[in-house]
């Protein structure tokens, strides 16, 4: 009944695309993202899956080294055309991914002093992201602005030392 894919490196995060339900992205310990067409939408409800697919048995749509350190989390962004990563190298990377084209880096978000553990795009605005890390800080990134401080009235309630927009490096 189940179908599994074995990748060569430990996987820290895996998520299906919101708008393309057969597309799966896995983020690995070695800094790679792997985008796979699972073919799940092609199966009939009563049809059984193969037990296990090994990495050498599948052809990923993309395998891309986004970081040279672990990727702990990622977010499908902007109608699933972009991927935002959270890495052990203390940065987040916004990559542009479109079906039929290559993956390329769009923005490098730097500001955390320790590993970035989680990222999220704002539901209401595809230009605003949040990241949190082992440094105990939540950054709110508004990519329309640069070096403008933002404050959240709930800082004390959540024991957040600081919420602000950090420097954005366009690449």
CATH of the domain at 47: 2.130.10.10
Residue 58 vs residue 50, higher pLDDT: 58
Residue % of the chain over a pLDDT of 70:
65
Q: Burial level of 3, CB count in 10 A (0-12/13-18/19+)?
A: middle
- Tokens 């769009």, residue located: 106
Which one, of 55, 89, 60, lies nearest residue 72 by Cα?
A: 89
CA 52 to chain centre: 25
Q: Domains in the chain: how many in total?
A: 1
Q: Is the pLDDT of residue 105 over 60?
A: yes
In this prediction the pTM is 0.73
Segments forming the whole domain that contains residue 134:
4-170
pLDDT average, residue stretch 145-155:
44
Predicted pLDDT at 63? 85
124 vs 50: which has the higher pLDDT: 124
Alpha-carbon distance of 4 to 75, in angstroms, equals 21
pLDDT at 163: 46
Per residue in 46-81, is it b (16+ CB within 10 Å) or e — as a string? Answer: eeeeeeeeeeeebebbbbbebbebbbbbbbbbeebb
Give the per-residue pLDDT at 74.
Answer: 96
Q: Would the pLDDT of 158 be above 50? A: no
The pLDDT value recorded for residue 147 is 46
Mean pLDDT over 77-83 rounds to 88
Confidence bin at 1 (pLDDT 50/70/90) = very low
Mean pLDDT of 131-146: 82
> Half-sphere exposure of residue 38, counting CA atoms within 13 Å on the CB side?
22
Largest CA distance in the chain: 55
Per-residue confidence (pLDDT) for residue 162, from 0 to 100: 39
The whole-chain average pLDDT of the chain stands at 75
| Residue-level pLDDT at 99 | 58
CA angle 6, 8, 10 (to 5 degrees): 85
If one compares 106 and 49, the residue with the highest pLDDT of the two is 106
């Amino acid at each position: 009944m189940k179908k599994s894919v074995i990748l060569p490196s430990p996987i820290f995060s895996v998520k299906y695309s919101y708008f393309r339900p057969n597309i799966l992205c896995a983020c690995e310990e070695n800094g790679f993202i792997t985008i796979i067409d699972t073919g799940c939408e092609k199966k009939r409800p009563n049809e059984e899956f193969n037990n296990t697919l090994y990495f050498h048995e599948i052809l990923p749509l993309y395998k891309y080294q986004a970081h040279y350190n672990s990727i702990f989390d990622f977010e499908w962004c902007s109608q699933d055309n972009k991927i935002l990563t959270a890495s052990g190298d203390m940065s987040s990377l916004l990559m542009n991914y479109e079906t039929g084209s290559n993956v390329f880096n769009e923005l490098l978000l730097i500001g955390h002093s320790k590993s970035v553990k989680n990222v999220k795009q704002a539901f209401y605005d595809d230009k605003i992201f949040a990241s949190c890390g082992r440094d105990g800080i939540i950054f709110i990134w508004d990519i329309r602005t640069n070096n403008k401080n933002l404050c959240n009235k709930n800082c004390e309630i959540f024991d957040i030392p600081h919420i602000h927009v950090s420097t954005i490096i366009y690449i």
